[in-house]
Amino acid sequence: MRIIQATSREEAVETAASLVLERILAHPTSVIGLATGRTMEPVYARFCELALTSRVPLSQTFFFLLDEYMGLPDGHPTSFKHYIRTHFLRPLSIPESQIAFPPAGDVDGPERYEELLRESHGVDLQLLGIGQNGHIGFNEPGSDKTSRTRVVRLTEETISANRGQLTDIIPEKALSMGIGTIREAKSLLLLATGKTKAEAIKYLMNHHDDPTCPATFLKDHPHFTLVLDPDAASRINLNI
């Protein structure tokens, strides 16, 4: 695990955005896994600025979205599809033929998504945030290390942490890439910012393969980069 401890939140965001950009610049045909959440908003804003000014060739890049709420009308303002259109696709004029959205409305959605991932020869770089309870995507505590894309029930804790982003419908379930699916990405880039993530990061640093904190399942991935801002890193001491 490579840990990059930034000296400010802005630097952490800049690092994450630059790592994605560098990957695409070096390999324009990359498959990139996108995450959502408040943490990623400034990353996408910065990525868009950098990509537009440096004219990054994005037309051959393909994207997969990590997860999606269930029970929402297609493109509902709470949906991650709406999020990614707003923060990523539209600012960069990326057509929707270049992204796969989790088919959250379909009974065979999980199997189809896994098949799509296989057909695309997997994700090269997966961008990830972390839940306050250590969840990755929507792999809540209790998830299995080998879990595949599936329908998951959200914990009360996650619903309450995300309440600020929810509108008229409060989703109870989501379709999420599994931990095993995520681990198949060639490289993982997890960004944690803010004091609310400090406990989860401390737990992550001190535990391995612990189902109560699914993020620990990523630690033995050969190319796992963890980017932290000072607040997220405030409960760990990397100098020991």
Q: Which residues are catalytic?
A: 67, 133, 135, 140
User: With 0-12 CB in 10 A as exposed, 13-18 as middle and 19+ as buried, what is 93?
Assistant: exposed
The answer to the question of residue 76 lying near ligand GLP (CB under 6 A) is no
SS3 content of the chain, % helix, strand, coil (to 5): 40, 20, 45
56 vs 143, beta carbon nearer ligand GLP: 143
The answer to the question of residue 12 lying near ligand GLP (CB under 6 A) is no
Is-contact 125 30, C-beta < 8 A? yes
DSSP 101: -
- 104-143: contacts with ligand GLP (CB under 6 A): 129-131, 137-138
The answer to the question of residue 207 lying near ligand GLP (CB under 6 A) is no
Closest CA to 71 of 135, 130, 154, 165: 154
56 vs 193, beta carbon nearer ligand GLP: 193
Q: For the chain, how big is the Rg over CA atoms in Å?
A: 17
Other CB atoms within 10 A of residue 119 CB: 9
The answer to the question of residue 179 lying near ligand GLP (CB under 6 A) is no
Q: Which stretch binds ligand GLP (CB under 6 A): 5-13, 30-38, 70-78, 215-223?
A: 30-38
- 49-68: contacts with ligand GLP (CB under 6 A): 66-67
User: With 0-12 CB in 10 A as exposed, 13-18 as middle and 19+ as buried, what is 217?
Assistant: buried
The answer to the question of residue 14 lying near ligand GLP (CB under 6 A) is no
Binding-site member from 36, 79, 133, 181 for ligand GLP (CB under 6 A): 36
Binding-site member from 6, 13, 34, 35 for ligand GLP (CB under 6 A): 35
φ, ψ at 199 (rounded to 5°): -65, -45
Residues in contact with ligand GLP by the rule CB under 6 A: 35-39, 66-67, 129-131, 137-138, 158, 162
